[in-house]
Amino acid sequence: MLAKKGDWVQIQKTLLKPEERTAPLPEDTKKLPLQMRVKGFLLNESADIGDEVEIETLIGRRVKGTLVAVNPKYEHDFGEPVPELITIGIELRKILEGDKNA
Amino acid sequence: MRDLSYDAVISRKNEIMKKAVGIDYEKFMISDLVFDYEKMMDEVGYSLDKVREIQAETGVGNTTLVELKQINRLIKKIAPKGKGARIFIKDEATNPSGSYKDRRASVSVYHAQKHGYKGVIAATSGNYGAAVASQAAKRGLKCIIAQECYDSKWIGQPEILEKARSCEAYGAEVVQLTVGPELFYYTLVLLEETGFFNASLYTPYAIAGVETLGYEIAEQTKEKVGKYPDIVVITHAGGGILTGTARGLKKAGATNTEIVAASVNLKGLHMARDNDFNKKYFTTGHTGFGIPFATFPDRSDVPKNAARALRYMDRYLLVSQGEVFYITEMLAQLEGMQRGPAGNTSLAAAFALALEMDNDKVIVVNETEYTGAGKLPSAQLTFARKMGMEIKRGDPIKEDIPGKSIVIPEHPSQIGYIELDMENVRKSYVKEVMKRYNKKEFNMEEVSFMAEDTNTTEEKIKQYIKELGGELIETKKG
């Protein structure tokens, strides 16, 4: 068992199947379901990834869905150094110092 | 059990909204198209003094107006003789959650608390979510933020993932959806389920909250340079910051200040297309919102949108993604201010304008926003490379192709803009009205409303109607 009651988890739920998406949509989006992910504390005694579970969110709302992550990580970061950006500061200071050809 | 199908929920829209916003829009409606905008703003909005009081309670506003002295030196160095306007920037990143959006959220959350709502909900993938979450925390209300966040492969836009983190840090529940306009549908579902207040971006409360920004700019500029700004440049997406800032400037007496909108040019990328979702590296401030919301403001989540940019917009300029990343580096490297990048769209346009304006002119850029993981140019461009985008130095105006290449200028003199013809923008507004209301015939009352709504003359509106194949019904008003 991967997750136990009270663990901070993320679940996934299909809100609308492709055929239920009746809003005007571009072709590629129309073929896909509208899905949701939400995080909360696991209410089931224990669960594995892929199990149908229930969670309680940060504001106390209960939501059911498929377990997709336990203690989900924030995966966004500062990125890699970008060569096209690194030299901009040096270039601009050169112009300020009077080198018109910088 | 409630019917949660798309059509059933949308058909309950009006009743859900009435409960969740507490505004009877019928009161201001004259016909489907025509309504009394100023009456709506007066009766529903709060007075400027009251808004200032509300914002003072939660530490919102009164941000510093900073002269960009190093950048202004640079402008004078590269501008033709006698040219080179001074740029000042309103450091809105110093608001509690890091953007001007705290102003926009402040009145809604105050109003929700006053009227006994237990919580607030907002549908937003941007800084507004963090602002609503922060204001809700300060006033002891619960908060749900619904975002459009992932493509179908569950690849999340880093800037939006960062906003989710921020909202959770303030104790909000974050509901993250895949691509599609049904974010609005699901927000209705949540409003119905919880009975929470809809802290929409587009109510009179939201716009009243932004008026203090324009008011402060007028006051602070006058104090620093002895006159009101010649130009205020405003990053334009949904129209709220432009509308609120312009109204605030006017209320302070700065009636001659030119209002310039600036958006990132993402022409050709479809906002609701799964394949295009992660090809844009600004989640706001771009043409995908800017043009549709300017030409048809009533596409928002409320019956009548209080953010009506064309009422106040004098010019509309487009800049490229590469220029905004470049100016973001410039702001950090020369001014010691790490901000944006999305909020710096207006700064890129201001820089280009400053190069061609006389050196006694004053430009104010009305916002900065917080930055960090997910948002920084390094985060966005690393992600862009992963998504197959070409990133290179070059001429941003000539070489930029949205969805294919991001071109970082080689020299500051390459920062320029593409100017949209306001006549075309206004004509598009009339075209949208004809399409949306399935309308070909217009009476004088409607002509008069459209002229007011786009800040032009009745003659111009009549001309557009005729050019677009419509007809005029010559009846008297009333």
Query: Is B76 in the same domain as B159?
Result: no
B6 near A CB under 8 A = yes
A87 near B CB under 8 A = no
The residue with tokens 């930055």 is B371
Q: Is A19 helix (H, G, I), strand (E, B) or coil?
A: helix
Lowest mean pLDDT among B22-31, B283-292, B296-305: B283-292
As beta bridge partners, residue B264 has B286, B319
Query: Is B63 in the same domain as B115?
Result: no
Mean per-residue pLDDT, A22-34: 89
**Distance from the B215 Cα atom to the nearest Cα atom in chain A, whole angstroms:** 34
pLDDT at residue B280 greater than cutoff 80: no
Closest CA to B215 of B190, B189, B242, B249: B249
Counted domains in chain A: 1
* B355 or B273, greater pLDDT: B355
Residue where one domain finishes, among candidates B203, B230, B262: B203
**Domain assignment present for B1:** no
**Domain assignment present for B478:** no
- Which residue in B has a C-alpha nearest to residue A38's C-alpha? B175
In our burial notation (b when 16+ CB lie closer than 10 A, e otherwise), range B431-468 reads bbbbeeeeeeebbbbbbebbbbbbbbeeebbbebbeee
Query: Is B414 in the same domain as B294?
Result: yes
**Domain assignment present for A13:** yes
**Domain assignment present for A20:** yes
B393 near A CB under 8 A = yes
**Domain assignment present for A25:** yes
**Domain assignment present for B127:** yes
pLDDT at residue B315 greater than cutoff 80: yes
B:197-216 residues touching chain A, CB 8 A cutoff: none
Mutate to test the interface with A, among B334, B378, B383 (most CBs of A within 10 A): B378
Residue B443 belongs to what domain range?
Answer: 430-473
What is residue B189's predicted lDDT score, i.e. its pLDDT?
Answer: 96
Contacts of B82 (CB under 8 A, 6+ apart): B358, B359
Counted domains in chain B: 3
B:111-140 residues touching chain A, CB 8 A cutoff: 119
pLDDT tier at A91, thresholds 50, 70, 90:
very high
Mean per-residue pLDDT, A4-24: 94
pLDDT at residue B345 greater than cutoff 80: yes
Query: Is B142 in the same domain as B69?
Result: no
Query: Is B239 in the same domain as B339?
Result: yes
pLDDT tier at B476, thresholds 50, 70, 90:
low
Mean per-residue pLDDT, B459-471: 97
Distance between CA atoms of B212 and B52, rounded to whole angstroms?
A: 7
Closest CA to B334 of B87, B142, B34, B55: B87
Residues of B within 8 A of A22 (CB-CB) are 6-7
Distance between CA atoms of B436 and B439, rounded to whole angstroms?
A: 8
Residue where one domain finishes, among candidates B203, B237, B262: B203
**Distance from the B106 Cα atom to the nearest Cα atom in chain A, whole angstroms:** 20
What is residue B275's predicted lDDT score, i.e. its pLDDT?
Answer: 80
Average pLDDT in chain B:
94
**CA–CA–CA angle A76, B199, B91 (5° rounding):** 60
Closest CA to A55 of A45, A44, A46: A44
pTM equals 0.94
What's the pLDDT tens digit per position in B22-33?
898 999 999 999
What is residue B107's predicted lDDT score, i.e. its pLDDT?
Answer: 97
**Domain assignment present for A101:** no
Are B192 and B318 in contact, with CB atoms under 8 Å apart? no
Contacts of B40 (CB under 8 A, 6+ apart): B25, B28, B204, B304, B306
Of A35, A79, A92, nearest to B378 by CB-CB distance is: A79
Query: Is B299 in the same domain as B175?
Result: no
**Distance from the B292 Cα atom to the nearest Cα atom in chain A, whole angstroms:** 16
What's the pLDDT tens digit per position in B91-134?
999 999 999 999 999 999 999 999 999 999 999 988 999 999 99
A77 to B78: CB separation less than 8 angstroms, yes or no: no
Mean per-residue pLDDT, A45-59: 97
Q: Is B367 helix (H, G, I), strand (E, B) or coil?
A: coil
Residues of A within 8 A of B192 (CB-CB) are none
What is residue A71's predicted lDDT score, i.e. its pLDDT?
Answer: 96
Query: Is B280 in the same domain as B244?
Result: yes
If you write DSSP's letter for every residue of B33-54 in order, what string do you get?
S-B-HHHHHHHHSPPHHHHHHH
Query: Is B28 in the same domain as B144?
Result: yes
Distance between CA atoms of A56 and A42, rounded to whole angstroms?
A: 7
- The pairing of strands B441-443 and B119-123 is unpaired
**Domain assignment present for B253:** yes
Distance between CA atoms of B370 and B389, rounded to whole angstroms?
A: 25
ipTM of the complex: 0.94
Sign of the CA dihedral running A29, A32, A34, A36: negative
Query: Is B92 in the same domain as B105?
Result: no
Burial of B12 (0-12, 13-18, 19+ CB in 10 A): middle
**Distance from the B176 Cα atom to the nearest Cα atom in chain A, whole angstroms:** 5
**Domain assignment present for B245:** yes
The residue with tokens 């334009």 is B236
Residue where one domain finishes, among candidates B183, B203, B223: B203
Are B147 and B130 in contact, with CB atoms under 8 Å apart? no
Of B185, B333, B391, nearest to A89 by CB-CB distance is: B333
**Domain assignment present for A102:** no
Contacts of B395 (CB under 8 A, 6+ apart): B407, B409, B410, B414
Are B135 and B58 in contact, with CB atoms under 8 Å apart? yes
Contacts of B431 (CB under 8 A, 6+ apart): B295, B464, B468
Query: Is B76 in the same domain as B186?
Result: no
As beta bridge partners, residue B90 has B65
What is residue A101's predicted lDDT score, i.e. its pLDDT?
Answer: 52
**Domain assignment present for B424:** no
What is residue A99's predicted lDDT score, i.e. its pLDDT?
Answer: 60
pLDDT tier at B140, thresholds 50, 70, 90:
very high
B9 near A CB under 8 A = no
**Domain assignment present for B425:** no
**Distance from the B116 Cα atom to the nearest Cα atom in chain A, whole angstroms:** 17
Residue A9 belongs to what domain range?
Answer: 3-96
**Domain assignment present for B152:** yes
B373 near A CB under 8 A = yes
What is residue B478's predicted lDDT score, i.e. its pLDDT?
Answer: 46
> What is the CATH classification number for the domain harbouring B379?
3.40.50.1100
Query: Is B186 in the same domain as B301?
Result: no
Distance between CA atoms of B254 and B56, rounded to whole angstroms?
A: 23
If you write DSSP's letter for every residue of B135-149 in order, what string do you get?
HHHHTT-EEEEEEEE
